[in-house]
Each structure stands twice: as structure tokens, then as C-alpha cells.
């Protein structure tokens, strides 16, 4: 399965008949950055990286690898957090040179792209066509759309537009035996049997190599309004969410939970970040309304809904940004939490989801259980509370030995994941399973569902050469 040292030269000779020699890379200094996951939890190895330029080349590569029993790890921007794109001796097949926008059709509200396109590139192309592509995540300047689809990426706009799965109309995939599945239709409705395209979304590159996709576009956003509200308590986060939905209809785009410890991280370690409110409470939220009309409608409705929430005692104080700098300051808080948590002496990350109504109970009970295990431990629960997705990261007590805390990773994860499971939630909300969460996959996944997944993998990749060892 792995490419052995003695196989490298003859295998490269065969590859050179398929792709240009400049697209065959054996230099370990060049390969090195592709061997470490973004979080830094996993360090892999690979003797070879190839960078094909079209689906036909990938098809021939897949046939060759199938015949030679050589495993492939597809890789996009390598921005994942569960090591799903990191090789363990396998070949890296990088899609970064397949980065063309194939077609944009404003009338159909669609854009068709190669899988190596950077997310921000697609956002910009949509904007230039007076359209809007809504997927927005922290790594959008470097992640690729193929990786976004393979991991069913979420982000800050899921509340209004859904996950990546909801934004894909069609895909093109090279299968393990080299066959090309061409399903790049731009249709909203296609009720012709099994929706085969969906099995590749969220499969983390284990069932085939996504080479292109047709994506949904939306009317151009003309106006965004950002607010920051400090809540009476954690339960008020759900009450405020309902009020915002009731008042705004489909204007509500983002709703992000920000705890006091998150504000401390942002203002202490972030780049020139100030707290939006002088007297904030323990629990706060970032709110964003977006509108296709360039008027004061979104601002007025957000103001009205916040005033109503203050009257009801749900919100204790709030501010609506009245400048680009104020808006940027608020969103920099969200980004800084992600970047600077490790400066609290380390962190143990969890990306989980529970039913929206259960979010307060989950956060409160998990904090209690963690503090029973380690007194003064510092949980940092934040993120997409509007869709039930919480990034429940955990930092050690002040001056706690970093290695001792790291040694307790398994115990801390079990506390978090078991509590998630007890509330009918998921141990992998938007980041996927990869290598990091395979243990939880076996423990918490429905047994019949897991069996069906294994059957699909065996059918599409009987030799187990496409991203082996991930998810299953």
C-alpha cells in the first residue's frame, strides 16, 4: 500500500508518462509543509507528491496506483484540523494546480470550478458577477473548495445558507479505479434515483478524488450590520436567537457565542482589539444581519430586536457597529480566540454539536464535569451557537504543567464527548473525523450506519487505496 523506497524510481518513471516531471516532487523540503496538519497534532510522512493539472491525468494516476496497489492521499489547502489530508507513507496527490474557474452563470446563479480553487477566489469571482457565494471560514484565503466539499465545511453563515453540502449542485469525481463520475449538472431538481454526489461530501477524500464542482450562488449582499450583545445568562442566548429570528426573518446570517474568557484572550493577545462594551457579562454574542437591499432596513430591525430584548431582560447591554473599523474589531475578537488560545498554556480542541435548545445545558454541565476532574480548568466554549455547533476548547488552570495537561487529553475528550452523546449530539460538527476522532467514531456512531459506510467504502475502493486509515 505504501510506496517503498525501492519502488520509488520505477514508479516515478511510470508517472512521468502521465504528467510532466515538474509535477512529480520527491524533494522532502518541498513536501514537508504538506506533512503537518494545521493544528499540529499529527506529523505524517510521504516519499512523493504529485500535482496533476486535469481530471484525465488524475484518472490515469488512479488506474496506475490501483494496478500497483499504491495508496493516495488527496490534499487541498491542508487547512483541516483532524489530519484527514495527512499521509502516513502514502503518495500525496495535491489538487492545488487545478484552480480554474470553469464557468460562472449569473442567470442560473451558479459557478463551476476546479477543486483546487481557493475559497476566497470563488467569493471574489461571484462578487465580480454581482452574485454572492456564502461559505465563509477562517482559512478562506488558503483552503480549497474540494477540501471544503470533502469535509462538508460549515463556517459563520451556516445559520442562513447551510453547510457546504447545501451549496453544491453537482460534482465531478475520479474513483479509485480511474473511472470519472461526471455529475456537474447545475440543476436544483434532479429526482433520478440515489443522490450519488452526496456520498462524496463529508467523506474526507476516502471514496474518490473530487476534481470539480458546480456551486450555488445567491443575490449580491449590499448591506451587512454587525452587533455585539451582552446577555443576562447563558439561557438568554437561545431566547435572543428566537427574538432575532422572529424580528428579522431571513436577515440573520451569523450568531456567535463569545464567553468572557474569549474576550480576555482576544484583548490580551490579539492585534489592537478592544472590548465593544464597557460593562459586558459572562456570556455575549456577535450578531450579523445581511441584506440584498442597500438601505437601513437591516440596521433598524437589529436595533428594534435588541431594544425589545433589553426590555425583556434578556440582553443587558448591546452595541451596533457604526463604522467599518468597529465591525472589524468585533469580528477580530472571534478570529483571535481561535488563534491565541494556546497562549493560555495549551488547549484541547473539540468541535461538537447538540440540538440548539440543549446548548446551554451542554455548556453548563460540561464545565461542571471538567472542573470536578481538574479544579480551576478553563473551558473556552464559543462559536456557531445559532446552529448548535460549539467549539468547546479547554485550557489548563493557570500555571498548570503543560505536559501534565496534555497527558489528560483522552480523559478530557471523553468527558466532553460523552456529555455531547447524552444530549443527542455529535462529536464532529463541522471539522470531520480524519485520524483524530476514529476512536469516537467506533464508540458513538450508530452500528448499522457504520456498517453501511464500510460497505460503501469497500464497493468504491475495494483495494483501499484512496486516503486509507481515515474515518474508518
Which pLDDT tens digit goes with each residue over 242-264? 999 999 988 999 999 999 999 99
Domain-terminating residue out of 33, 61, 95: 95
Query: Is there a contact between 34 and 47 (Cβ–Cβ < 8 Å)?
Result: no
Residue 324 sits in the same domain as residue 247: yes
Mean pLDDT confidence for 366-386: 97
Give the number of residues written for the chain. 472
CATH number at residue 90: 3.30.43.10
Residue 331 sits in the same domain as residue 239: yes
Q: What is the pLDDT of residues 76-91, one digit of tens each?
A: 999 988 989 999 999 9
- Look at residue 20 in the predicted model and tell me its pLDDT: 95
Residue 14 sits in the same domain as residue 63: yes
Residue 138 sits in the same domain as residue 171: yes
CATH number at residue 133: 3.30.465.10
Whether 445 maps to a domain, the answer reads no
Q: How far apart are CA 327 and CA 363, in angstroms?
A: 27
Q: Of 224, 222, 226, 237, whose CA–CA distance to 332 is shortest?
A: 226
Classify residue 462 by burial, with Cβ atoms within 10 Å: 0-12, 13-18, 19+: exposed
Whether 133 maps to a domain, the answer reads yes
- Look at residue 369 in the predicted model and tell me its pLDDT: 98
Q: What is the pLDDT of residues 175-216, one digit of tens each?
A: 999 999 999 999 999 999 999 999 999 999 999 999 999 999
Residue 66 sits in the same domain as residue 145: no
Residue 352 sits in the same domain as residue 304: no
State the pLDDT confidence band at 40, using cuts at 50, 70 and 90: confident
Residue 295 sits in the same domain as residue 355: no
- Look at residue 3 in the predicted model and tell me its pLDDT: 77
CATH number at residue 417: 3.30.70.2740
* Domain carrying residue 136: 101-219
State the pLDDT confidence band at 218, using cuts at 50, 70 and 90: very high
- Look at residue 138 in the predicted model and tell me its pLDDT: 86
Domain-terminating residue out of 152, 184, 219: 219
- Look at residue 340 in the predicted model and tell me its pLDDT: 94
4 or 68, which is more confident: 68
Mean pLDDT of all residues belonging to the chain: 95
Residue 334 sits in the same domain as residue 420: no
Residue 282 sits in the same domain as residue 365: no
Q: What is the pLDDT of residues 294-323, one digit of tens each?
A: 899 999 999 999 999 999 999 999 999 999
Whether 437 maps to a domain, the answer reads no
- C-alpha cell belonging to residue 184: 456537474
Residue 180 sits in the same domain as residue 250: no
Count: domains in the chain = 4
- Look at residue 336 in the predicted model and tell me its pLDDT: 95
Amino acid at each position: 500500500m505504501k510506496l517503498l523506497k525501492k519502488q520509488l524510481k520505477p514508479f516515478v518513471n511510470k508517472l512521468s508518462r502521465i504528467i510532466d516531471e515538474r509535477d512529480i516532487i520527491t524533494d522532502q523540503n518541498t513536501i514537508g509543509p504538506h506533512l503537518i496538519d494545521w493544528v499540529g497534532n499529527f506529523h505524517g510522512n510521504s516519499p512523493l507528491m504529485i500535482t496533476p493539472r486535469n481530471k484525465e491525468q488524475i484518472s490515469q494516476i488512479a488506474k496506475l496506483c490501483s494496478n500497483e496497489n499504491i495508496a493516495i492521499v488527496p490534499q487541498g489547502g491542508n487547512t483541516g484540523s483532524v489530519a484527514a489530508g495527512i499521509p502516513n507513507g502514502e503518495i500525496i496527490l495535491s489538487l492545488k494546480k487545478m484552480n480554474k474557474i470553469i464557468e460562472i452563470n449569473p442567470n442560473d446563479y451558479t459557478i463551476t470550478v476546479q477543486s483546487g480553487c481557493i475559497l476566497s477566489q470563488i467569493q471574489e469571482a461571484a462578487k465580480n458577477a454581482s452574485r454572492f457565494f456564502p461559505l465563509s471560514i477562517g482559512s478562506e484565503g488558503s483552503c480549497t473548495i474540494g477540501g471544503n466539499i470533502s469535509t462538508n465545511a460549515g463556517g459563520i453563515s451556516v445559520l442562513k445558507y447551510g453547510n457546504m453540502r447545501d451549496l453544491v449542485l453537482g460534482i465531478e469525481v475520479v474513483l479509485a479505479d480511474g473511472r470519472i463520475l461526471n455529475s456537474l449538472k447545475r440543476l436544483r431538481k434532479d429526482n433520478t434515483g440515489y443522490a450519488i454526489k452526496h456520498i462524496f461530501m463529508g467523506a474526507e477524500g476516502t471514496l474518490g478524488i473530487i476534481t470539480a464542482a458546480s456551486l450555488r450562488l445567491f443575490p449580491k449582499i449590499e448591506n451587512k450590520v454587525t452587533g455585539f450583545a451582552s446577555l443576562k445568562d447563558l439561557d438568554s442566548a437561545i431566547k435572543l436567537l428566537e427574538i432575532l429570528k422572529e424580528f428579522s426573518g431571513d436577515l440573520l446570517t451569523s450568531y456567535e457565542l463569545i464567553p468572557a474568557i474569549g474576550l480576555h484572550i482576544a484583548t490580551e493577545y490579539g492585534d489592537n482589539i478592544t472590548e465593544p462594551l464597557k460593562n459586558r457579562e459572562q456570556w455575549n454574542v456577535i450578531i450579523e444581519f445581511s441584506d440584498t437591499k442597500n438601505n437601513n432596513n437591516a440596521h433598524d430591525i437589529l436595533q428594534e430586536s435588541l431594544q425589545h430584548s433589553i426590555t425583556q431582560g434578556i440582553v443587558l447591554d448591546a452595541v451596533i457597529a457604526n463604522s467599518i473599523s468597529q465591525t472589524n474589531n468585533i469580528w477580530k475578537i472571534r478570529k483571535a480566540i481561535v488563534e491565541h488560545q494556546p497562549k493560555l498554556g495549551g488547549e484541547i480542541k473539540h468541535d461538537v454539536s447538540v440540538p440548539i435548545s440543549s446548548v446551554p445545558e451542554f455548556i453548563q454541565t460540561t464545565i461542571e464535569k471538567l472542573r470536578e476532574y481538574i479544579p480551576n480548568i478553563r473551558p473556552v466554549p464559543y462559536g456557531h451557537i445559532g446552529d448548535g455547533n460549539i467549539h468547546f476548547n479547554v485550557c489548563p488552570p493557570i500555571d498548570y504543567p503543560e505536559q501534565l495537561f496534555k497527558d489528560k487529553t483522552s480523559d478530557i475528550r471523553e468527558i466532553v464527548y460523552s456529555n455531547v452523546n447524552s444530549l443527542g449530539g455529535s462529536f464532529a460538527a463541522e471539522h470531520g473525523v480524519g485520524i483524530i476522532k476514529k476512536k469516537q467514531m467506533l464508540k458513538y456512531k450508530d452500528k448499522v450506519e457504520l456498517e453501511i459506510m464500510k460497505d460503501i467504502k469497500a464497493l468504491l475502493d475495494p483495494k483501499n487505496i484512496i486516503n486509507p486509515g481515515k474515518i474508518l
